[in-house]
Amino acid sequence: MFVPIYDGVPLRFTRSAFITYGLVAACTAIQLLLRFGPQQESEIAVMAGFGLIPSVLFGTAVLPEGLTHAPAWLTPFSNILLHASFAHLLGNLLFLWVFGDNVEDAMGHARFLAFFFLCGLGGSLAHALAYPASEQPLVGASGAISGVIAAYLMLYPRVRVWGLAFKWIPVHIPAVYTLGGWIVFQAASAWFDPQGDIGWWAHLGGLATGAVLTPLFIRRGVALFGRRSARP
């Protein structure tokens, strides 16, 4: 288990990664509204209506009548902004906060926003295909953030990242080891815990989507795998 804290990589092309910060703010605001806002429907109802339910997406099940919900085709995107708990939210947003700004800097604001949601879509579809009959909602930005992690690892494999191993041991080691180990953990968990409550296949789908899209979305002149970049 690794929790990132700081990477120290300065922005090269932009003054502020406002898309990253906006996504963090949006997810936080939605979670606060769900927990403390004037609710007409329970959190469970919101998760069911706007989370991704594979059997509903594929048309083999339907939601209860009277439940406010997004169209089934939209839920592979709407589920990205929902989280099951504040702990779930915090875990995801730490990774986005530490790594998202540099990926956004390397791609540009608009392309990073598209990249984020496409990685989320890839994660959502991977989960749905792995569990097509499931009636449990999938929520969380994990798939999208997994794509961001893939991009960061391809851009800055040698950067030394500050973080906590096993939640309390301070470490300062290259991203290729910290994030590479995280990826291995996701793959092992998907294999050994196929019926768990965590969307491991969403993580892997987001990672694969991010790895494929990163070379297509980065700015011209930005190098991959720690090579020296051309001047902007």
- For residue 232, tell me if it sits in a domain: no
Model pTM score? 0.92
pLDDT digit string, tens, across residues 116-157: 999 999 999 999 999 999 999 999 999 999 999 999 999 999
**Taking the CB of residue 73, how many other CB atoms lie within 10 A of it?**
8
Total number of domains constituting the chain? 1
- For residue 83, tell me if it sits in a domain: yes
CA 116 to CA 99: how far, in whole Å? 12
- For residue 72, tell me if it sits in a domain: yes
Q: What is residue 100's predicted lDDT score, i.e. its pLDDT?
A: 97
Q: What is residue 230's predicted lDDT score, i.e. its pLDDT?
A: 52
- For residue 196, tell me if it sits in a domain: yes
Q: What is residue 16's predicted lDDT score, i.e. its pLDDT?
A: 94
Instruction: Look up residue 96 and give its two tokens.
Output: 């986005």
- For residue 152, tell me if it sits in a domain: yes
CA 2 to CA 209: how far, in whole Å? 22
Measuring CA to CA, how many Å separate 10 from each of 1, 13, 220?
A: 26, 10, 18
- For residue 230, tell me if it sits in a domain: no
Q: What is residue 127's predicted lDDT score, i.e. its pLDDT?
A: 95
Of 220, 80, 216, 198, the residue nearest 151 (C-alpha)? 216
Residues of the chain below pLDDT 70: 39-41, 196, 226-232
Domain that holds residue 114: 2-217
How many residues are there in the chain? 232
Q: What is residue 76's predicted lDDT score, i.e. its pLDDT?
A: 96
CATH number at residue 121: 1.20.1540.10
Q: What is residue 196's predicted lDDT score, i.e. its pLDDT?
A: 66
H or E element that contains 163: strand 160-165
List active site positions: 142, 203
- For residue 228, tell me if it sits in a domain: no
- For residue 226, tell me if it sits in a domain: no
Question: Which residues, including other chains, have CB under 8 Å from residue 124's CB and lie 6 or more apart?
Answer: 52, 75, 76, 77, 79, 80, 138, 143, 202, 205
